[in-house]
Amino acid sequence: MPDRNLFETSVDSLAGDDHRMRAWLAMVGCFTSVERSLRRRFNQAFRSSLPRYDVLTALAQFPDGLTMGQLASKLMVSKGNITGVVRRLQQNNYVRQSTSAEDRRVQLVTLTPGGRQLWDRMHEEYRSVIGEVLADLSDEDSLALSGKLSQAQEKIDEFLQRNDASQ
């Protein structure tokens, strides 16, 4: 039996009525377990980190390219977090930066054909890990979990919108 992780044991110390914190810690626990499996497999298969896959995924969705600011915003991180990742991907010729045809002051990051191939392989691996790790979850359970999470996402988005507007 593996040791329970921090996010599982933290739940024990919560007051019985702290339902939101309990839901959040349950989410952190699941997320952390699955992410660790992904991270391990990506390290074994590609010697690659997950932020690298995330950057490639965003660029695969937007073949016309994204500015560094747009890329950071899609990934919900700061530009500083992805500068190094993008630079290394560029050195390895998986992405390139070029001037926007519409506005010469704007630099766009796009996937190269090699970057697209790498992403295809990574994406297959990603789906395969998720399929394995969540294999014991039935279709019905997966659907119910998605439903509850989408509901939470809506409420979170409403909060973020109010909060961003008030700043």
Q: Is 62 left (phi over 0), alpha (psi -120 to 50) or beta?
A: beta
Q: Provide, rounded to whole angstroms, the least separation between the CB of residue 140 and its own copies.
A: 9
Nearer to its own copies, 59 or 118 (CB): 59
Q: Which is nearer to its own copies, 32 or 98 (CB)?
A: 32
CA–CA separation, 167 and 162 (whole Å): 9
To its own copies, the closest distance from the beta carbon of 100 in angstroms equals 18
Between 19 and 87, name the residue whose CB sits nearer to its own copies.
19
CB of 164 to its own copies, least distance (A): 7
Shortest CB 42 distance to its own copies, Å: 14
**Chain positions contacting its own copies, by CB under 8 A:** 1-3, 5-6, 8-10, 13, 17-24, 26-34, 36-37, 54, 57-58, 61, 73-77, 127, 130-137, 139, 141-146, 148-153, 155-161, 163-164
